[in-house]
Amino acid sequence: MPDPIYWMFIIPGLLLGLYAQFKLSSTYRKYIRVGTNSGLTGAQAARIILDEAGLPQMPIQEVPGHLTDHYDPIKKRLCLSSEVFHGQAIASVGVAAHEAGHALQHKAAYAPLQWRMWMVPATQIASQAYLPIFILGIILGSAWFSKMIGLIIAIFAVISLFQLITLPVEFDASRRARAQLQRLGLIHGQEAIGVGRVLNAAALTYVAAMVSSVLQLLYWITVARNSR
């Protein structure tokens, strides 16, 4: 059973994460029902942004799932969920434009995006390694587990750094999205406010993930100090 100090570090991040998910869900549900004056779908809005940026060959692919939208930097393509791909709502256009913003970052060699791409393999390894190490430590006992704390700290340091680098990437993609939507006349007036709210709610989930990772890192650093 985790000690009380564990919950002191974990609960704030957990609560922030739950709030972020609630905020994103409620904001998205609201603006997925509000159409844009242009009548453009998310895919069409993204296509206009990409074409105007000199990326007419970049494919926009429909993918299954809810809020599964992402930019694939390896295959250089936009992947939009069906609701965003076909939707003519403020949320659809905003999310699609955000993913197009990542493509614009890639074209411009935006440094934080490059850093995040470089860190993906190490972060995947760290994320996959934590649970087996944690379970093995419980099985083998505290003596063995105390020897592995340094490795656990390294794991969360990698994850926390990745989450920290992710923040400017996501905020900048949203900034580019809003700027392009307005510059190209794809949204007007109150629509810009709705797009901003959707993208800000999405950004909060990344903030919550970063806070949670950092708190877990601090917890294991505290454990390591107390075990000396």
Tens of pLDDT, residues 106-151: 999 999 999 999 999 999 999 998 888 877 766 766 666 677 888 8
Write out the catalytic residue numbers. 99
Strand pairing category for 70-72 and 60-63: unpaired
Tens-place pLDDT, residues 144-185 = 667 788 888 999 999 999 999 999 999 999 999 999 999 999
How much is the pLDDT for 184?
96
Q: How many CB atoms lie within 10 A of CB 222?
A: 14
The answer to whether the CB of 32 falls within 8 A of the CB of 83 is yes
How much is the pLDDT for 219?
92
Tens-place pLDDT, residues 7-47 = 899 999 999 999 999 999 999 999 999 999 999 999 999 99
Q: Which amino acid is located at 59 in the chain?
A: P
Q: Please state the φ and ψ torsions of residue 217, each to the nearest 5 degrees.
A: -60, -45
Q: 63 in helix, strand or coil?
A: strand
The answer to whether the CB of 49 falls within 8 A of the CB of 71 is no
pLDDT beyond 80 at 193: yes
In angstroms, the Cα distances linking 106 to 15, 88, 114, 139, 188 are 33, 26, 8, 45, 27
Q: How many CB atoms lie within 10 A of CB 174?
A: 22
pTM of the model: 0.90
How much is the pLDDT for 1?
47
